[in-house]
Amino acid sequence: MKKTIILNLLIMFTCPFFTHAQWLEKKGNGYFKLSAWSLEADQHYTNSGKIDPNATRGVFNLNLYAKYGLSDNWDMIAYIPFYVKSYQNNQVSQITNETLLKGEEFNSFGDMNLGIEYRFFKKSKYAFSTTLTLGIPSGDSKGGSDGSYQTGDGEFNQIIRFNAGTSFSLYKHSFYAKSYIGFNNKTKNYSDEVRAGIELGTSFIGSKLILLLRSNMVKSIKNGSLNASNSSGSIFANNVEFISIGGEVAWKFTKKIGIGIGYSSAISGKIIYVAPSYSAGIFYLLK
């Protein structure tokens, strides 16, 4: 369980953070973001939701998120983690300061997400769309000396989502709100999942400063038959569940270029790390 929890957080938490405060792109327009993402933890939620310690492990990745308008109602979406480092720090005695177990790291390409979004209704301040995302097993599911330093989980999954959004004013200030509910069909004997989330956003200083708040939920259906460990002894994090909260702050230097920093953390969960993740990146708006 301790060996693939970070991988699951990587998949769950990164993709939602690299969206932006727009509905679908217009034809020929796009949003592109180059980001770094990091998480390090020394404790985790068990399969019963309790908190246990673990050797300090972490993941760092560099990734590209892209969203491009094929038409006014169709968007193409890609998330490409082109560098992923999975690592474990040295285990050091608190008494003698002696290194008890030397750390290790493994670097490779990560699992990609490729998707398409279709807006089937828009009227006044309301919009509804659906998204199909394909999780491509392009990472390494058996990295490192013991196979536990994964940069991918080795399974091909498909996520179908229903999205709803609206804009509104509060005390003469404009806001937008989004929500989604989806189903993740997983292969290789992993359990399928129900996913849901909400997002609230607004802007200040002539739309240069953008503030976003988010919450996401993953609930396992527990219909998978994946064993707790495989023949090599590495333990896969099946039946992951969590509720997370987070946010993002972005600043537009020009009408097309800006930077953003993000934060997310699970406030409850099963088989995931008890630690926040951080992201930072630069984005470009194609208009």
Q: How far apart are CA 243 and CA 267, in angstroms?
A: 6
Residue bearing the bigger pLDDT, 119 or 22:
119
Quote the pLDDT of residue 8: 53
Q: How far apart are CA 194 and CA 219, in angstroms?
A: 5
83 Cβ contact list (under 8 Å, min separation 6): 61, 62, 107, 109, 110
Answer whether residue 234 shows pLDDT above 70. no
146 pLDDT tier (thresholds 50, 70, 90):
confident
Quote the pLDDT of residue 91: 86
Q: How far apart are CA 158 and CA 81, in angstroms?
A: 18
Counting the structural domains of the chain, the total is 1
Range of the domain at 250: 5-286
Least confident of 20-29, 53-62, 72-81: 20-29
* pLDDT tens digits, one per residue of 58-74: 999 999 999 999 999 99
Answer whether residue 15 shows pLDDT above 50. no
CATH number at residue 106: 2.40.160.40
Quote the pLDDT of residue 231: 33
Token code pair at residue 162? 């229903």
pTM: 0.90
* pLDDT tens digits, one per residue of 100-122: 788 899 999 999 999 999 999 99
Among 36, 66, 42, 6, CA closest to 262: 36
**Mean pLDDT score of the chain, rounded to an integer?**
87
Answer whether residue 230 shows pLDDT above 50. no
* pLDDT tens digits, one per residue of 197-220: 999 999 999 999 999 999 999 999
Answer whether residue 227 shows pLDDT above 70. no
